[in-house]
Structure 1
Amino acid sequence: MRAITYDRFGPAEDVLCLETLPDPAPSVGEVLVRVHISGVNPSDVKARAGSRPGVTKPPFAKIIPHSDGAGIIEAVGEGVDPSRVGERVWIWNGQWQRAFGTAAELISLPEEQAVTLPDNVSFEVGAALGIPGLTAVQAVLGGGPVSDRTVLVSGGAGTVGHLAIQVAAASGARVIATARGEDDLAAARQAGAEHVFDYGDARLADQILEATGGAPVDRIVEVEFGQNAETNTRIIAERGTIAAYGSAKDMTPALPFYPLMFKAVTLDLLLIYILSKRQRETATQQMTSLLERGALKFRTSETLDLSDCAKAHDMVASGQRSGSVLLKI
């Protein structure tokens, strides 16, 4: 099979190689998926670059990157229902704590990590469900229903934020979002946000409270926890929740503990790779329902050939994109 590999950390162009490897075979409890589309996420890029704190060398001698992907089950291992052969699926955690991910023609992995892809959903969308899709669903719905609640989505034009707005709106929430630049502000509105504000505005907290008539926000989906801690503390409701999935601009934030404590705020720090079995099953069911309803629209910035994997990594690393970066296998 054709696959992208790396055996050391470094710039994408220097370490990513296209090579031919033996086809894998499914072990007991596994399925073999012929990958049609591989999704490239920031976590894949950081792992290849060696930018995770304390990690000095790759955890495996040879790595095929990428955790997200979509394709068709080609074979099954012992203990797996043979009727799954031919099933369209999307993949989660393809390369999480495993050597071989989805940047290859074939991947063998536990059958529960290959989820049925609804007939009305493309492989391109399927390749964005594992990390961006599940993160958005868990961030919005992980604490329960949000119908008639006010949800703030920080960074509403980003890949996760744009989906989170749609998830919240489709689930009956009143949605407020932040973004920057006319195009991104418009994208957040089109996704379903009733009010959208520039996240760099010094009056952001006041603007949000003016939009709600002074009522605090029930749930905040946060991409920059540290940078926005003070604003969020002002606007969050008593017993509200801040569901944070990132803090890249301030990785060691000072926490306004007592103001948050006296509101009994819940801080929900999300790492989608390690959801419990129950959490993942619930989030997957919720996302499948939204997909079948046609409630989610996914944006793709670029679809490149597998051989252009280094270019795809650089595009993601630059941050200059308005949707998923995908590889066609």
Structure 2
Amino acid sequence: MTEETNENLTLPYVAVTMGDGAGIGPEVIVPAVLDHGILQECRPVVIGDLLRLRQAADILGIDADIQAIENVEDAEFTPGRVNVIDLALLPEDLKWGQLSLLAGHAAYEYIRVASELAMTGKVQAICTAPLNKEALHAAGHIYPGHTELLASLTGTEEVSMMLSTPKIRVIHVTTHIGLADAIRKINPDLVQRTIRRGYEALVRAGIPNPKIGVCAINPHAGENGLFGQGEEAEKIEPGVQAAQAEGINAVGPLPADTLFFLAGRGDYDLVVAMYHDQGHGPVKVLGIEAGVNITVGLPVIRTSVDHGTAFDIAGKAIADSRSMVEALHQAAEMATRPSMAR
């Protein structure tokens, strides 16, 4: 067994949570953590169930050396090896593609352990496979999703969701609330904080002075008050101006349809969307398999695939691992490093 190189020892550790074990998480994790390119960028350690990962490897026909470890520092990164902190929470006969309270609870536990590792500095980023919200709730863990769960576990008051694709990046001012509620919630301070979180994330990723475009709420950015109730002038413009006063290169509010076109051709490094579907729609048109969901504002960066548990194809060896590979790539790129420690 070959030893790690000195260069490898400087790579960030990434905790990879298995998500809902009845979904496609195990099937996308195994090939992703074995990806040669990923192993040049980070040291992935899976938080999950050893048995389920071995079942996934068998289904995929992958000859992987999947081994349990007690601590992150016990992991060995050699060709074909998958390192797992094995919580052993799932039964051997767990059915693929079916809602399971046990799988919902296990998904929560994987996140809890990953959060503890992050908070103690054992890992420098978290990358999550999808969980099933219905299963999570059935197990008594009432959170809208990963983002809110991680915020609670790490004691973080406010985080932002960023979607990243090879073509555009989008950060959201509001996410999982109704449109009318989102408009009520938007205010200049929240807009400013969201812009700042996006700016800091991009600087961490190696973009020194990102250009940020901020969406309007109404068509044509309100057309000087012709559309809407003056939301642009009241809720968005002061937030953009406050961000500019911090030295951030932010522009807006701009008509969303025009801004996404300009960002898609490379004029902007980041788009600030005001509500969930304003940002998610354009990203998913570009191809969900390449999309990554990033939570910014946590003590460490968290990335995730931009797809669900896909119960309809789980256990059938047809899940696409490209989004998980990209999520690991983004986690490695944006991970906390010793020179950035506070």
TM-score by length of 2: 0.27
- Work out which structure has the larger RCO, using CA pairs closer than 8 Å and 6 or more positions apart in sequence: 2
Say which structure is richer in helix: 2
Q: Which has the higher strand share?
A: 1
TM-score using structure 1 length: 0.28
